[in-house]
Amino acid sequence: MNLAVVGTGYVGLVSGTCFAELGNHVICVDKLEQKVDQLNLNEIPIYEPGLEELVRKNKDAGRLAFTTNLTQAVKEADIILIAVGTPETETGAANLSYVYAVAEEIGEALDDTFKVIVNKSTVPVGTAEEVEEIVRRKKREVNINVSSVPEFLREGSAVHDTFHPDRVVIGTSSEKAASMLKELHLPLTENIVVTDSRSSEMIKYASNAFLATKISFINEIANICDLYEADVHAVAKGMGLDHRIGPKFLHAGIGYGGSCFPKDVKALKYLAEDKGYQPNILQAVNDVNEIQSRRMVEHLDRIFDGDISGRTIAILGLAFKPNTDDMREAPSVKIIQDLIKQGAAVRAFDPIAIENAKKMLPDEVEYVDSALAAINGADAAFLVTEWDECKSLTPKQWKESLKQPVVVDGRNALDKESLKAEGIIYHGIGRK
Ligand SMILES: NC(=O)C1=CN([C@@H]2O[C@H](COP(=O)(O)OP(=O)(O)OC[C@H]3O[C@@H](n4cnc5c(N)ncnc54)[C@H](O)[C@@H]3O)[C@@H](O)[C@H]2O)C=CC1
Ligand SMILES: O=C(O)[C@H]1O[C@H](OP(=O)(O)OP(=O)(O)OC[C@H]2O[C@@H](n3ccc(=O)[nH]c3=O)[C@H](O)[C@@H]2O)[C@H](O)[C@@H](O)[C@@H]1O
């Protein structure tokens, strides 16, 4: 099939490349000329394991191309996928201006042949219908269907997730579109749910909100564990063995970050409130997450009797999770801002996110190029992102490098017992 993918971010670039790998002809469009130039030189603007090789291979095979020319890409396509950003606005509502702008451009570029326009961006319920209206406003007689096929990949394992999805959801009102979209996705999975576009759009928000709920729930349990000297690791394990609960997304820590959970929980909350419904669970999920990282800074403050000023704190990990360079809504930002506000000096390490982090963090932050260099001579270390390089520091290295043996484990990722055995003052979340 011939595909046009509009937006070459984490979603568009990965899914466009993977569809090319499956044998389709894919033209990826981005309005940023610099990004397209980079991609044409085989330079990948994001860090995503396995992606560079796939881009190179499919470009060389003539199945994948990058352009700023949306009109040309649309003319050649049977299916046009929209994968532009839908960031948060001040009210919490999703900003649909990028999606609307693409819809207008597609409307202007369409000819008479039947085309399926697929919205992959995460959008409020009813957006597929709005996109169709916008396109038809530009050209009333066009032969199109606008469907919703939400994306469920995770950053850091995006290529793997695209090739091995748990399910594909197709929301459409057209049998012809459903059949073309099934044909496109069948090589990936037989688990295909076909529904209407509104339900499909809701499936995406509900899935992200549910996963975020699991995280805030276990974080709340961890906070209660702290009060009663129970261990949240043991609690999560014991809970997760119940098949109705499951073990995943029960890892307590400093809260969820990233470009999606925070904004999508707020966007769904907004949709409910906009119709006069108060979504109490979503509100609580968001509230627990807002304060979770602050609790660990308070912990650190207590260790130093409320006087953290002048201390050097090593921050291990800056990205919102390992295996990505994405700093959007990374908990490290709030943590570092809090520490600097209290007069601490921050020395930070991340294997790949430092360049992105510099754009968001205060100028005072010192950056180093290894986990060991970060903890060397520091008064305390704060594990913020559970990168392998940070987790693999040995108890001896922690002990010998830190000026004071204080380790705050914001991800409950370190071996508490062996650190304690080395005489280190260890603080996890909900870990007695
Ligand atoms: N990042 C992720 O892991 C996931 C994101 N999503 C959703 O997918 C959507 C896209 O997310 P990301 O890929 O992270 O966004 P991103 O911000 O990384 O990329 C968006 C791209 O669209 C381009 N763009 C914007 N307007 C354009 C236009 N008029 N024409 C051509 N290109 C245009 C931008 O230049 C940018 O390169 C969002 O709605 C997000 O919620 C869904 C699942 C996973
Ligand atoms: O819509 C999206 O953008 C994507 O959002 C998440 O993917 P992603 O944000 O890449 O990363 P996750 O692995 O889900 O982690 C999100 C955040 O939750 C945190 N987390 C995750 C799991 C857990 O048990 N505990 C926990 O604190 C992570 O550290 C991270 O900050 C979803 O997992 C994807 O299915 C979805 O497509």
Tell me, using a 6 A CB cutoff, whether residue 225 lines ligand 2. no
* pLDDT: which is higher, 112 or 256: 256
Closest CA to 314 of 344, 354, 346: 346
Instruction: Output the CA angle 368-371-377, nearest 5 degrees.
Output: 75
Find the range with the poorest average confidence among 43-57, 70-84, 297-311, 367-381. Answer: 297-311
Q: Which of 18, 28, 225, 260 is catalytic?
A: 260
Residues 248, 185: Cα–Cα separation, whole Å: 26
Q: Is 86 left (phi over 0), alpha (psi -120 to 50) or beta?
A: beta
pLDDT at 39: 97
pLDDT at 171: 98
DSSP β-bridge partners for residue 66: 28
pLDDT at 337: 96
The domain ranges of the chain are 2-195, 240-428
Helix (H) or strand (E) run with residue 25 in it: strand 25-29
> Do 178 and 185 meet the contact criterion of CB atoms below 8 Å apart?
no
Q: Name the pLDDT band for 103 (thresholds 50, 70, 90).
A: very high
Query: How big is the chain, counted in residues?
Result: 432
pLDDT over threshold 90, residue 368: yes
Residue 91's SS3 state is: coil
Residues 81, 366: Cα–Cα separation, whole Å: 41
DSSP-assigned letter for residue 199: H
Q: What residue owns the CA closest to ligand 2's atom 11?
A: 154
* pLDDT: which is higher, 139 or 199: 199
Work out the average pLDDT over 312-334: 96
28 is catalytic: no
Of 1.20.140.10, 3.40.190.10, 3.90.580.10, 3.40.50.720, the CATH number of 2-195 is 3.40.50.720
pLDDT at 138: 83
Find the range with the poorest average confidence among 8-12, 297-301, 407-411, 414-418. Answer: 297-301
- Across the chain, mean pLDDT equals 96
> Do 77 and 27 meet the contact criterion of CB atoms below 8 Å apart?
yes
> Do 254 and 411 meet the contact criterion of CB atoms below 8 Å apart?
yes
Residues 301, 348: Cα–Cα separation, whole Å: 18
> Do 214 and 49 meet the contact criterion of CB atoms below 8 Å apart?
no
Single-letter residue type at 350: D
How many angstroms is it from 36 CA to the middle of ligand 1?
14
Q: What is the bridge-based pairing of β-strands 366-367 and 345-349?
A: parallel
Atom of ligand 2 nearest to the CA of 157: 10
Mutational pocket test of ligand 1: of 47, 84, 98, 134, the residue with most ligand atoms within 8 Å of the beta carbon: 84
pLDDT over threshold 80, residue 109: yes
Residues 52, 41: Cα–Cα separation, whole Å: 11
pLDDT at 95: 98
- What residues form the annotated binding site for NAD(+)? 30, 35, 86, 122, 155, 263, 328
Domains 2-195 and 240-428 share a fold: yes
Q: What residue owns the CA closest to ligand 2's atom 1?
A: 260
Closest CA to 404 of 426, 421, 388: 426
Work out the average pLDDT over 354-365: 97
Atom of ligand 1 nearest to the CA of 101: 29
Task: Compute, in degrees rounded to 10, the torsion defined by CA atoms 135, 138, 139, 142.
Answer: -10
**Residue range 200-252, pLDDT digits in tens:** 999 999 999 999 999 999 999 999 999 999 999 999 999 999 999 999 999 99
Residues 284, 201: Cα–Cα separation, whole Å: 22
pLDDT at 359: 97
How many angstroms is it from 1 CA to the middle of ligand 1?
22
**Residue range 378-429, pLDDT digits in tens:** 999 999 999 999 999 999 999 999 998 999 999 999 999 999 999 999 999 9
pLDDT over threshold 80, residue 140: no
Helix (H) or strand (E) run with residue 72 in it: helix 70-76
pLDDT at 139: 76
Q: Which fold has domain 240-428?
A: Rossmann fold (3.40.50)
Those residues whose C-beta lies under 8 Å from the C-beta of residue 360, and which sit 6 or more positions away, are: 327, 330, 333
Q: Name the pLDDT band for 112 (thresholds 50, 70, 90).
A: confident
Those residues whose C-beta lies under 8 Å from the C-beta of residue 165, and which sit 6 or more positions away, are: 152, 153, 188, 189, 191
| C-beta atoms surrounding 350 within 10 Å | 29
Closest CA to 147 of 98, 188, 102, 197: 197
Name the token pair of 105: 């451009």
Residues 160, 54: Cα–Cα separation, whole Å: 12
Alpha carbon distances (Å) from 330 to 219, 322, 380:
17, 11, 21
Work out the average pLDDT over 31-38: 98
Residues 312, 217: Cα–Cα separation, whole Å: 32
Work out the average pLDDT over 9-27: 98
DSSP-assigned letter for residue 88: B
Ligand nearest to the backbone CA of 88: 1
> Do 112 and 180 meet the contact criterion of CB atoms below 8 Å apart?
no
Those residues whose C-beta lies under 8 Å from the C-beta of residue 89, and which sit 6 or more positions away, are: 95
R_g (Cα) of the chain, nearest Å: 23
Q: Name the pLDDT band for 432 (thresholds 50, 70, 90).
A: confident
Work out the average pLDDT over 26-49: 96
> Do 208 and 153 meet the contact criterion of CB atoms below 8 Å apart?
no
